[in-house]
Chain A
Amino acid sequence: MKNRKFRFIISLTVTVLLFVFVCYLAQCILMPKYTGIRKEGALISEYYDEVKDHDVIIIGDCEVYENISPITLWEEYGITSYIRGSAQMLVWHSYYILEETLKYEKPDVVIFNVLAMKYNEPQSEAYNRMFLDGMKLSSTKLKAIKVSMTEEETTLSYLAPIFRFHSRWDELTGEDFKYMFGVPKVSHNGYLMRCDIKPLEGLPAVRNPEFTDFGENAYAYLDKITSLCKENDIELLLIKSPSVYPHWYDEWDQQIVDYAAQNGLQYVNTLKLQSTIGIDMTTDTYDAGLHLNLYGAEKFSKWLGQYLQDTYNVADHRNDPELSARYEQKVAAYYKEKAQQESEIAEYGCLKMFKDHKEND
């Protein structure tokens, strides 16, 4: 009897352990790898592999991870920076990513792109996944999950993503197996490089905004970001990135101007500084004004670096041998990808990943 009970307990333990292990392996295979045309899904998790001692942390949506090049900030001003951005990163996402980042490091300046203020409610499961699946499990992540979920989402599917991605078995490719334990780096300190050009040829007519006042929820989390920075003695810079679309209305701009004034913050609407920065939307954007390409991002970063040094006196670390050595590799990787993309564009007329994607479709 005792022997039977013992065998039962051993069998049960082994089965449970094996089951969990197999499920873990399956989850590793089934989770999206974001190595193709949706690289932005891999941005959040890349941060954990970094040496975390940045002077500037940039938080926000695609208007930061496509428009600002931390490598240029380093090369031109010796500023160490990292973009913690993700696709359609909402204000509460930004707050929680900042809260998490501050557990690892304490920057001098935090830059927040204010376009996300237009959203007051959770928007998209796909973007939530890109953001939340990349985060390491922590109390911050749990709080972020709670406020981010759309109607159909469940906390369980974030804690065990196999419950969400189980049905991907019919779309698995070789890459899902190849990168099941980790994907290669896709960004340069959070910057997602694009060298292709699609000029701005005209914008849709500007209509009246659907709403004039930002929502309570958006303001509440902006307040939290402000408080968090103040508590940690960090300068908070609010910017509106120079992407011309989606349209940034004057009514919205005025609210941020007022907010910054009330809270003693700096706010720069760089849309108004396009000519100063030198952005030319016929050459500096890869999607007709929504995002800057590498050439635009470098121009904008040069301006931003100057602004940071002038306004916040952010340190120049180029004489620091350890940092210089580290950044030397980053700069090399940056130019390698730049050369690669430029050669692909020359050969195919577009980036190879888009050509492949089109062919697979």
Chain B
Amino acid sequence: MLFTSLGFLVFLAVLIPLYFLVPKKIQWIVLLVANAFFYVYAGTRGLIFISVTIVTTYIATMVISHLYASQEKYLKDNKESLSKEAKKAYKNKMQQKRRLVMILCAVVSFGIIAVMKYSGLFLRGTEFAQSLSLILPLGISYYTFQTMGYLIDVYRGTYSPEKNIFKLALFTSFFPLLLQGPITRFGDIGKQLYEPHTFNMRNFTYGLERILWGYFKKVVIADRILIAVKAIISEPDEYNGVYVLCGMVFYAIQLYCDFTGGIDITIGIAQILGISLPENFLRPFFSKNIAEYWRRWHISLGVWFREYLFYPISVSKPLLKLSKFTRNKIGNGIGMRIPVYVATVTVWFITGLWHGSAWNFIVWGLLNAAIIIISEELSPLYAKFHSHFPGLKQKWLYRLFEIGRMFFIMCSLRVLDCYRNVGTAFKAYSTIFTRFNYNILTDGSLLKLGLGVLDYVVVFCGVALIITISLLQRTGSIRDKIAKKPIGIQMAIFAALLFIILIFGAYGIGYDSSQFIYTEF
């Protein structure tokens, strides 16, 4: 069910009143039924796979919990009789058991995602790969990562396991999160999902504003600029040079509006239901370097990889050994950094893979890692440069340069996302530096990409509005500011935004109102 479909709006219009009208005790059951409906609507086959993940995670977390309890009881019962070494040996044994259970469960869930999503990487074009891609369960990357995060947290003892399998099912399948996250941790939403909620006007208006803002970004801007992006990338031989440059900028606008728009809708829906979700973006295009960018873009995925992959890899035995080895052989500086870089490359390789079963995503991930490492290695050089020009960093023009540089780097990397073929992507990108067809900016060529002058005006105004809102957000919540206005003005803002979406939205016949880009990941 597309967020932009009429069916989804009807679904919400039924769910929200129902959720607040039923007895509070069964509100979570209403949500669970809604999730099941949402999921079944996308295809009954996917239900099997999500059910396997839920059941295996439930069993695994209960076994882990039982092992924790047994350990505690055994140690308590034998507190006097056991030596320190015996206690340690017992703890290690139990830890190994828990790890085995955790790994077995993870293998099942990641195994499903590996077969369903990544067979295509090696079996591209085969009938088997095609049939798997057809039954790829909705939101598999999101619910798998969310559930595995929960499993690891239970394994680490961070959270107690949820004893009610249906409540675990609700956490795994909460419908607003299925399409494109954010990948939330059990501690962030678990309790909120199960506890009773009373209708709250503030939550309702804030949520609705967020939803409308999301639809504005998705339907008015992303789905409109998509037309030009598609035209450019569909004919790489014809549209090269400055076209590619334009395509990069257009795609950045499309991707940002598509993804953040979808997340706005997700967070808004959850807020109306009384559930507060973590933010997934923090004005990423205002970042000045790549590390900062990735702390502000798709935050939940970054947190997941940091918590469950980067840190564990960094402190894993092989990397600790490597660290020791490199420090001894090369010295403390680079010697200490090499293991971090190994972890970085591994994480980015997997991040690339998470985005899709294609080499372009893997190359994209590795290039990100390369830029992060190069930036890190060049940081002393930057520091030296800035010591010669103190105060330069504070100058707004330099900050603008940094933001522009970052924007260009991210746009360049995303060429791999656009063309979906490594060779074509590199070839298209290289034409930026070999074919200087700047005349296309003025001779009306851009008007042959499926967008008219007024379409570009709408996109430009929309982007200008987003930038203005982002700048204003730095001084506090826009919704808080709107809430302080008289009720008539608040409603006029609502109505105006809705009207703009209604008229300027790129939806209906003649438009390819597409699924969200990140739903494909």
Q: Do A and B bind each other?
A: yes
Residues of A at under 8 Å CB distance from B? 7-8, 11-12, 14-15, 18-19, 22-23, 26, 30, 125, 152-154, 156-157, 162-164, 166-167, 169-170
- Contact B509–A152 (Cβ < 8 Å): yes
Residues of B within 8 A of A12 (CB): 491
Q: Are B495 and A19 in contact (CB under 8 A)?
A: yes
Contacts of B504 in A (CB 8 A): 166, 169
User: Residues of B contacting A167 with CB < 8 Å?
Assistant: 506, 508, 510-511
Contact assessment for A23 and B455 in the assembled complex, using a CB-CB cutoff below 8 Å: no
Which of B455, B495, B508 has a CB less than 8 Å from the CB of A18?
Answer: B495
**Complex alpha-carbon distance, A152 and B487, angstroms:** 39
Question: Which residues from chain B contact A8 at a C-beta distance below 8 Å?
Answer: 487
A157-B510 Cα distance, complex, nearest whole Å: 13
User: Within the complex, what minimum Cβ distance (angstroms) separates A137 from chain B?
Assistant: 19
Complex: how many Å from CA A15 to CA B494?
Answer: 9
Query: What is the CA–CA distance of A156 and B507 in the complex, to the nearest angstrom?
Result: 13
Q: Show the binding face of B for A, using Cβ within 8 Å.
A: 6, 452, 454-455, 487-488, 491-492, 494-495, 498-499, 502-511
Please determine whether A164 and B487 come into contact, CB atoms closer than 8 angstroms: no
Bound-state CA distance A169–B500 (Å) is: 12
Chain A hits for B452, CB < 8 A: 170
Summed over the interface, the residue pairs from A and B with CB atoms below 8 Å come to a total of 52
When distances are taken between beta carbons in the complex, the residues of chain A under 8 Å from B502 are: 23, 162-163, 166
Q: Is the CB of A164 within 8 A of B509?
A: yes
Taking a contact as CB atoms under 8 Å apart, the answer to whether B503 and A169 are in contact is: yes
Closest-CB distance, B345 to chain A (whole angstroms): 46
Q: How distant is the Cα of A7 from the Cα of B487 in the complex, in angstroms?
A: 8
Whether B508 contacts A157 by the Cβ 8 Å rule is yes
State the CA gap A17–B4 with chains docked (Å): 25
Q: List 14 A-B contacts (CB under 8 A).
A: A11-B488, A12-B491, A15-B492, A19-B495, A26-B503, A156-B6, A164-B508, A166-B502, A166-B503, A166-B504, A167-B510, A167-B511, A169-B454, A170-B452
What does DSSP make chain A's interface, helix, strand, loop or mixed?
helix
- Given contacts A156-B6, A164-B509, A167-B510, A11 and B503 within 8 Å (CB-CB): no
B455:A170 contact, CB within 8 angstroms: yes
Minimum CB–CB distance from A15 to chain B (whole Å) comes to: 4
User: A157 CA to B509 CA in the complex, in Å?
Assistant: 10
Distance A159 CA – B6 CA, assembled complex (angstroms): 14
- The distance in angstroms between the C-alpha atoms of A11 and B454, with both chains bound, is 33
Q: Which residue of B lies closest to A30 (CB)?
A: B503
- By Cβ-Cβ distance, the 6 closest A-B pairs, closest first, are A15-B491, A170-B454, A19-B495, A11-B487, A11-B488, A166-B503
Residue of B whose beta carbon sits closest to that of A12: B491
* Smallest Cβ-Cβ distance to B505: which chain A residue: A166
Give every chain A residue within 8 A of B508 (Cβ-Cβ): 157, 163-164, 166-167
* Cβ-neighbour of B491 out of A11, A125, A164, A169 (below 8 A): A11
Given A15-B491, A169-B504, A170-B454, A22 contacting B499 (CB threshold 8 A): yes
In Å, the complex CA distance between A26 and B506 comes to: 17
Nearest CB on B from A26, distance (A): 6
Residues of A within 8 A of B498 (CB): 19
Cα–Cα, bound, A164→B494 (Å): 22
Q: Which residues of B contact A18 (CB under 8 A)?
A: 495
How long is the Cα–Cα vector from A153 to B508 in the complex, in angstroms? 8
Within 8 Å CB of B505, what residues of A? 166
Q: Chain A nearest CB: distance from B402 CB in Å?
A: 37
Cα distance A251–B413 in the bound complex, in angstroms = 63
Q: Which residues from B are CB-within-8-Å of A170?
A: 452, 454-455
User: For A153, what are the chain B residues with a Cβ–Cβ distance below 8 Å?
Assistant: 509
A7 to B488, CA, bound (A): 9
Residue of B nearest to A26 (CB): B503
